[in-house]
Amino acid sequence: MASRRAFLRASVGMACGAALSRPASAQVPALVRTEGDRFRPLAIASGNGLRAVSRAMELMQQGADPLDAAVAGVTLVEDDPTDHSVGLGGLPNEDGVVELDASVMHGPTHKAGAVAALRNIRNPSQVARLVMRRTDHVLLVGEGAVRFARAHGFAEENLLTDEARRIWLDWKERHSDDDDWLPPATQPTTGPAARVDWRAAFTHGTINCLALSANGHIAGVTTTSGLAYKIPGRVGDSPIIGAGLYVDNDVGAAGSTGRGEANLQNCSSFSIVELMRRGAGPQEACLEQLRRVAKTTEPRLRDANGRPKYDLTFYALSKDGQFGAAAMRSGRRAPMFAVHDGRDARRVECAVLYRVDR
């Protein structure tokens, strides 16, 4: 009986894998598994993560745990005031306050940690890792998360940089004609004091980083300042295990950037890992999940052709060393993601569900 059940399970898995094997819009990367039980370390990240994958790879090649390597990688981005999607310099909520979200997940232990609506602490990924390691909880939010970070020696600071403040004020002054906010009468057009167009800077940007170590262990981290100008207290998908991040050490890992609400309504990272469990490659699993999200998108978020008009990108890697990413939509040029396969760091085109003119 046990053998028969195993045969049936294998048959179902093969059928699911065949059903998902549709042509993809980008080449599926080759396997990077090496001989025996050893793996060539692999790190992938969102398009703003080239430095992150380089740092993560450097540490894994020195023997670091993949979670510590991934967190060290994204810390470089959290510390960068010119990246307005995360950490120091992230764009604030509608009140001008930077609120950060992050999650981590460790494949070997299947443990996770997260923080949400964290204020005044620039490295939420590090705090999330401490939640995983030093508490019996998974998610801490708001003031409780700040107190926890302070207890572990994190310094509080104002995360709203001068540039991010200027972008936020531009939004305050321009986004409505029904309030009393007015832009300055004159504004330089060049130089550091020039106005930054808040529409161009508007972001639900994030960094996701997934890592596979030489011993086949997998980990991941997602960290963000969330949707720019959000209602205070809004929490997106990034700190939610199964949405913004999910890791199964026997299968692979997935993470996301983009419209968090669409991801939250579909538990996408968990679904991508389950698709890989049933035989789909990482890229096709990301594309299939985008199809599911697109199908459930409400009318007000669709364009004239019925396609979702928001950005959402998924990233995934599998236990055997395959990797891929897919975006909901793009113009003539596809969005990019970062990869380090142990030889070099590079950007690779994401597969795209909908090619649209922008």
Write the CATH number for 168. 3.60.20.30
At how many degrees (to 10) do helices 124-134 and 66-78 cross? 150
Least-confidence region, from 6-20, 76-90, 267-281, 321-335: 6-20
User: Is 322 within the bounds of a domain?
Assistant: yes
Smallest Cα–Cα separation from 85: which of 238, 240, 274? Answer: 238
User: Is 43 within the bounds of a domain?
Assistant: yes
Task: Say yes or no to pLDDT of 23 above 50.
Answer: no
User: Is 264 within the bounds of a domain?
Assistant: yes
Model pLDDT, residue 195: 47
Look at phi and psi of residue 200 and say left if phi exceeds 0, alpha if psi is from -120 to 50, else beta. Answer: alpha
- 3-class SS shares of the chain: helix, strand, coil, % to 5: 30, 25, 45
d(CA 246, CA 258): 16
Model pLDDT, residue 39: 79
Which has more confidence, 314 or 30? Answer: 314
Q: Using one digit for the tens of pLDDT, what is the confidence trace for 55-103?
A: 999 999 999 999 999 999 999 999 999 999 999 999 999 999 999 999 9
Average pLDDT over the chain, rounded to whole?
88
Helix (H, G, I), strand (E, B) or coil at 50: helix
Task: Say yes or no to pLDDT of 121 above 90.
Answer: yes
For 161, how many CA atoms within 13 A lie in the half-sphere containing its CB? 17
User: Is 182 within the bounds of a domain?
Assistant: no
Q: Using one digit for the tens of pLDDT, what is the confidence trace for 136-189?
A: 999 999 999 999 999 999 999 999 999 999 999 988 888 788 888 887 766 554
Domain count, the chain: 1
Q: Using one digit for the tens of pLDDT, what is the confidence trace for 201-242?
A: 455 569 999 999 999 999 999 999 999 999 999 999 999 999
Active site residues: 206
Model pLDDT, residue 205: 67
Which has more confidence, 19 or 319? Answer: 319
DSSP class of residue 29 equals: P
* Continuous H helices in the chain: 2-19, 50-61, 66-78, 124-134, 142-151, 162-174, 198-201, 260-264, 268-277, 282-295
Model pLDDT, residue 187: 58
Q: Using one digit for the tens of pLDDT, what is the confidence trace for 291-302?
A: 999 999 999 999
Range of the domain at 253: 16-176+191-355
Task: Calculate ∠ Cα 300-168-94, nearest 5°.
Answer: 55
Quick one: what percent of the chain has pLDDT higher than 90?
76
Model pLDDT, residue 186: 60
User: Is 1 within the bounds of a domain?
Assistant: no
Task: Say yes or no to pLDDT of 290 above 70.
Answer: yes
pLDDT confidence band for 40 (50 / 70 / 90): confident
Model pLDDT, residue 358: 53
Task: Say yes or no to pLDDT of 333 above 80.
Answer: yes
Q: CA–CA distance from 265 to each of 93, 236, 246, 304, 352 (Å)?
A: 22, 11, 15, 23, 21
Task: Say yes or no to pLDDT of 10 above 80.
Answer: no
User: Is 292 within the bounds of a domain?
Assistant: yes
Q: Using one digit for the tens of pLDDT, what is the confidence trace for 246-255?
A: 999 999 999 9
User: Is 3 within the bounds of a domain?
Assistant: no
User: Is 144 within the bounds of a domain?
Assistant: yes
For residue 185, how far is the Cα from the chain centroid? 39
pTM attached to this predicted model: 0.86
